[in-house]
Structure formats: structure tokens, C-alpha cells
């Protein structure tokens, strides 16, 4: 409480300075009113930040939604353009997800999405970004990662998903995914970069199917 009062007094003092005033130029009632206004503005700011954070989250998985993911991808690509730091985007598609929903119901599918979202979030650095792109598709932005590092990380994430299991209705079920990675190029827009990663994912999926490695679901 003491810290909050001190912070409020400091913020009020800054407002007065911005107006070219100091506490001696304003009555006690005026200062009290200004402090109340400053506190209300701080509270509104906190609520706005909380609302913005909530608007960025996916409705099911504990990750960014598509809109927020594309915003972060745009930010990453701006840094790639400006500082020439390497980065990459990974596209992940869960194999046989529709069959899971059809056989076990949407609650089973929702449980899988939450599981994969948590798994991905726990498997990347704080500087990286995880988002759900829609349906059973996820994306990962790897900041400051070379093409080789991104390929290694994509394989590690793929292995982690494919070897994980989720307990649903008292029965453990395996999950399988197809993963594509695309090193971000200069002067590339976010949707194009994501489309390239998507194409890489489908190429990997088709290659597995050609080798008889298709995965039907649970």
C-alpha cells in the first residue's frame, strides 16, 4: 500500500510538472482531485492492457490466436529486415484430427488442442511465439534462429508431439503431427512466409503418406 501511494504521488508530481506547476501552486483539494484522476487513469490502463492480452489469446489453447500471431510475425519480419537477424516460422498440422472429433467428440479434440498448445509453449524460448492458426493447425516463430537451427527445432517439436500422449476418458492416446519450416526471407510479408511454411508442412505430410506412414488419428 505504501509503495502504491508513493507511486501515485510520483505520477501526480509528473503530471504537475507537465503542466509547468508544482504542489505549492495547487490547493490541497486540487492535488487530491488530481491524485484520484491519476489513480483512475492507471486503473483504466491496467484494464485495457488486460483486455488486450485476453483478445490476443486463443479460445482453447494457451497460445496466441491467428491475428496476434500474424502481428508478432510482422514484428519479427521487421526486425529481420532492419537488423538482418535470422528467424523462421514453423507450421504444424495435427494428423487425423477430424477422425478424433468424429469418433470421440469435440471435447476430445479440444483436450488435444490444449495439450499441444501447452506442449509447444513449454518447448520454446521466451523470445519465440506460439499461436493457433485455426482448427488443428499451430504456428511457431523462432526469433534469432538460423535455417539449420530452425530445422533442428522443428524436428524436435515434431518428435515431442509424436511421442506424447494425452489422457482422455481414462485412456492414453497418441498424437501425431506434420511439421514444415520456412526461414524468413528479406522483404517477405507475413502471409507469404506462413504460406511457405504451410507448403513445407504439406510436402512432409505427402512424403510420409507416399512411404506408407499415414496416421489415422488416435
| Catalytic residue positions, numbered | 136
> Domains of the chain: which residue ranges?
2-56, 66-210
Contacts of 121 (CB under 8 A, 6+ apart): 62, 63, 130
Q: 104-128, pLDDT tens digit by residue?
A: 888 999 999 999 999 999 999 999 9
Mean per-residue pLDDT, 84-100: 93
pLDDT score for 153: 98
Q: What is the rounded CA–CA span in Å between residue 158 and residue 176?
A: 8
Mean per-residue pLDDT, 193-201: 97
C-alpha cell at 179: 511439421
Mean per-residue pLDDT, 138-156: 98
Give the three-state DSSP class for 125. Answer: coil
pTM above 0.85? no
Residue with the larger pLDDT of the pair 209 and 24: 209
Query: If pLDDT is split at 50, 70 and 90, which confidence band does 51 have?
Result: very low
pLDDT score for 173: 78
Distances (CA, A) of 27 to 6, 24, 40, 155: 19, 7, 20, 66
pLDDT score for 203: 95
Q: Is the pLDDT of residue 8 over 60?
A: no
Distances (CA, A) of 42 to 4, 32, 104, 106: 11, 15, 47, 41
Residue with the larger pLDDT of the pair 172 and 136: 136
pLDDT score for 123: 97
Domain 66-210 has CATH 3.30.70.270: yes
Amino acid at each position: 500500500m505504501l509503495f502504491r501511494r508513493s507511486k501515485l504521488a510520483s505520477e501526480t508530481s509528473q503530471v504537475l510538472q507537465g503542466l509547468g506547476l508544482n504542489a505549492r501552486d495547487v490547493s490541497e483539494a486540487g492535488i487530491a482531485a488530481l491524485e484520484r484522476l491519476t489513480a483512475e487513469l492507471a486503473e483504466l490502463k491496467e484494464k485495457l492492457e488486460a483486455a488486450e492480452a485476453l483478445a490476443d489469446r486463443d479460445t482453447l489453447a494457451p497460445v496466441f490466436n491467428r491475428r496476434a500471431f500474424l502481428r508478432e510475425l510482422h514484428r519479427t519480419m521487421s526486425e529481420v529486415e532492419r537488423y538482418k537477424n535470422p528467424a523462421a516460422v514453423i507450421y504444424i498440422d495435427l494428423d487425423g484430427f477430424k477422425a478424433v472429433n468424429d469418433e470421440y467428440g469435440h471435447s476430445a479434440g479440444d483436450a488435444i488442442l490444449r495439450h499441444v498448445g501447452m506442449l509447444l509453449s513449454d518447448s520454446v524460448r521466451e523470445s519465440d511465439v506460439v499461436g493457433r492458426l485455426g482448427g488443428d493447425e499451430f504456428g511457431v516463430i523462432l526469433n534469432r534462429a538460423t535455417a539449420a537451427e530452425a530445422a533442428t527445432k522443428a524436428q524436435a517439436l515434431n518428435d515431442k508431439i509424436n511421442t506424447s500422449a494425452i489422457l482422455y476418458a481414462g485412456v492414453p492416446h497418441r498424437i501425431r503431427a506434420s511439421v514444415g519450416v520456412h526461414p524468413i526471407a528479406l522483404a517477405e510479408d507475413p502471409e507469404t512466409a506462413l504460406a511457405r511454411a504451410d507448403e513445407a508442412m504439406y510436402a512432409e505430410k505427402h512424403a510420409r503418406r507416399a512411404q506408407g506412414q499415414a496416421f489415422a488419428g488416435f
